[in-house]
A and B are shown apart, each in its own frame.
Chain A
């Protein structure tokens, strides 16, 4: 056990799984970097450094730098998965799904059902999400809600290093296609992470903080916004329960419903989308299945229905804040 960042935890998970299983490969743009250049190999080690050093340990036959060809990367991963490998493909930014979504949602996601259950597609797509890095509209979205709505895909979004390692190991061992969403702003966040290998099952929410007055469901980086709000409100005598579902597909409905049964109030903090996003999805679930327990309206705290803006004050106004969560809860409980 030692303190590890999410970046380090993911790197460790990849190395441990690649050492355990020779069928695990990594492919993507600059997962090593440097091929064909005048400098060194492993110049990048992944666009954000997650796969650094892995090529040195496992070689270029299993850590495969590709051209900037997202459809070919996703398709190659799906085709390799269906024929006997366990690829971990990297989609540098989730925004780039626009150029390769067919290979994910029409191909990989459909194989098992469309072919009558005869095949497995054990692939992982690691991708990055999240606003806050001043990277503007095409490098800042969350978009996990779009993948969550596709049957056949599993969607995972860790909020801390412990979960990141255990969930990535689970994802690699899983026999279905898994989209693994890493928030860019969380890579350097550290916590205690066991050195040994371990897996965290999908569909089991983490109750980050127990409380009795109001339930917050939050995803990825928004879990930290929710915790910050919970701390502030605790000082005011409001007891907040914070739930991190960790996976949106499958979704641990029971933990959310049980919490709302207890508190009677629900706030969802979600960076994915103002419309048809995870907040709306969770709200729909609770209205349908725990309507009688509700003692007030469900509050959805999301970005506005706009693209992610570039200019710092605009982007800051775009991202949900702990202050906004506190205000909403104070108003709700008044």
Chain B
């Protein structure tokens, strides 16, 4: 299926936004103004984008500690995300969540989740809501190769098959769970095959190839939306940065990272493909580059200048009523 010009520009906008957002946080993090842990998604943009392009605001995703990319791809407000990451008033979670807990229910973003394997059980719950209410809603769980080894993930996959839930499990294999390679920690040849053994269709795709991810995701989301139950996709794309910002990454060779930037950059791969096939113009992509750069500048500027929450905010929103 040929994707229209608008869809390709939308995809590029989302991917470029994620990249620029993450590259900028990588720089700003060194100023000491960003509190706590940040885990960057750069390198994996084609996965979040290829999947979220299939979804509506009323569909749900569950994300991981490395959740900025999923949030942006699902349509979360970038300035409000930046405010949240800086722990400021006006942040998407009022400064109470931070990088690892960005959520926006109106956009169907059920939350980044700082527990590896935390989201699959929650996501099948969102899928259960769609099933019980008889809507055609879909829920998507993003997990890494690390979470693919968690029992919660196995439980969620099995229950999704048993209850025939409208859910898609995305396994982003970025090569490492923290500082340990997936070749060591995943005791199977393929995460997709393991998912398949739970009784659902599963495929492996090159996660740096937007078109491959998009096609696989379209099929899986359609399957879910039409009542045919869960699917899984293993999408392989290495992360450009460490497990967390500040990670010296001694477990990776310098050669690996250099090669990755050269041959494993999904944005470069996307651009080369669409320019070669004359699907969109270079000018249109350049225009997006400029827009996104400006947007991220504004987001950082706004976040730096914003106020912190006050001590009054400490005690609010523990409960709806108590």
Q: Select from chain A the residue with minimum beta-carbon distance to B128.
A: A80
> A116 to B118, Cβ gap below 8 A?
no
> A82 to B133, Cβ gap below 8 A?
no
Q: What is the bound-complex CA distance between A79 and B127, given in angstroms?
A: 8
User: Which residues of the partner chain B approach A112 to less than 8 Å between Cβ atoms?
Assistant: 317-320
Interface majority SS (helix, strand, loop, mixed), chain A: mixed
> B121 to A79, Cβ gap below 8 A?
yes
Q: Please give the distance in Å from A59's CB to the nearest CB on chain B.
A: 10
Q: What is the bound-complex CA distance between A87 and B121, given in angstroms?
A: 14
> B95 to A116, Cβ gap below 8 A?
yes
- Tell me if B110 is interfacial: C-beta within 8 Å of chain A: yes
Which of the 9-residue segments B33-41, B153-161, B214-222, B273-281 touches chain A?
A: B153-161
> B132 to A62, Cβ gap below 8 A?
yes
Q: Select from chain A the residue with minimum beta-carbon distance to B104.
A: A118
> A74 to B121, Cβ gap below 8 A?
yes
What band does the interface of chain B fall in when counting residues whose beta carbon is under 8 Å from A? 35 or more
Contact among B60, B96, B133, B155 for A116, CB-based, below 8 A: B96
Interfacial residues of chain A within 67-96, with CB under 8 A of chain B in the complex: 67, 69-85, 87
User: Which residues of the partner chain A approach B105 to less than 8 Å between Cβ atoms?
Assistant: 82-83, 115, 118-119
Given contacts A64-B163, A67-B162, A107-B118, A114 and B97 within 8 Å (CB-CB) = yes
Give the residue among B121, B124, B130, B321 with the most A Cβ atoms within 10 A: B121
Q: Please give the distance in Å from B36's CB to the nearest CB on chain A.
A: 13
Given contacts A112-B317, A120-B320, A250-B322, A82 and B97 within 8 Å (CB-CB) = no
User: Which residues of the partner chain A approach B123 to less than 8 Å between Cβ atoms?
Assistant: 79
Give the residue among A25, A69, A79, A80 with the most B Cβ atoms within 10 A: A79
> B126 to A69, Cβ gap below 8 A?
no
> B121 to A103, Cβ gap below 8 A?
yes
Q: Please give the distance in Å from A77's CB to the nearest CB on chain B.
A: 6
Given contacts A75-B156, A79-B125, A84-B133, A116 and B318 within 8 Å (CB-CB) = no
> B125 to A83, Cβ gap below 8 A?
yes
> B60 to A72, Cβ gap below 8 A?
no
User: Which residues of the partner chain B approach A176 to less than 8 Å between Cβ atoms?
Assistant: 319-322
Q: What is the bound-complex CA distance between A154 and B97, given in angstroms?
A: 21
What band does the interface of chain A fall in when counting residues whose beta carbon is under 8 Å from B? 35 or more
> A71 to B155, Cβ gap below 8 A?
yes
> B318 to A152, Cβ gap below 8 A?
yes
User: Which residues of the partner chain A approach B310 to less than 8 Å between Cβ atoms?
Assistant: none
> A79 to B124, Cβ gap below 8 A?
yes
Give the residue among A25, A69, A81 with the most B Cβ atoms within 10 A: A69
> B111 to A80, Cβ gap below 8 A?
no
> A111 to B111, Cβ gap below 8 A?
yes
> B120 to A75, Cβ gap below 8 A?
yes
- Tell me if B92 is interfacial: C-beta within 8 Å of chain A: yes
- Tell me if B103 is interfacial: C-beta within 8 Å of chain A: yes
User: Which residues of the partner chain B approach A71 to less than 8 Å between Cβ atoms?
Assistant: 121, 151-152, 155-156
- Tell me if B91 is interfacial: C-beta within 8 Å of chain A: yes
Q: Select from chain B the residue with minimum beta-carbon distance to A249.
A: B322
User: Which residues of the partner chain A approach B321 to less than 8 Å between Cβ atoms?
Assistant: 174-176
8 more CB-based (< 8 A) A-B contacts, given A82-B110, A154-B322: A76-B121, A78-B125, A79-B110, A79-B126, A85-B128, A102-B115, A114-B111, A176-B320
Taking Cβ atoms with an 8 Å cutoff, the residues of B that contact A are 60, 62, 91-97, 101, 103-105, 110-111, 113, 115, 118, 120-133, 139, 151-152, 155-156, 158-159, 162-163, 316-322
The 7 listed contacts between A and B (C-beta, < 8 Å) are A64-B163, A66-B159, A67-B155, A71-B121, A79-B129, A118-B104, A176-B319
Taking Cβ atoms with an 8 Å cutoff, the residues of A that contact B are 25, 27, 61-62, 64, 66-67, 69-85, 87, 102-103, 106-107, 111-120, 151-152, 154, 174-176, 203, 250
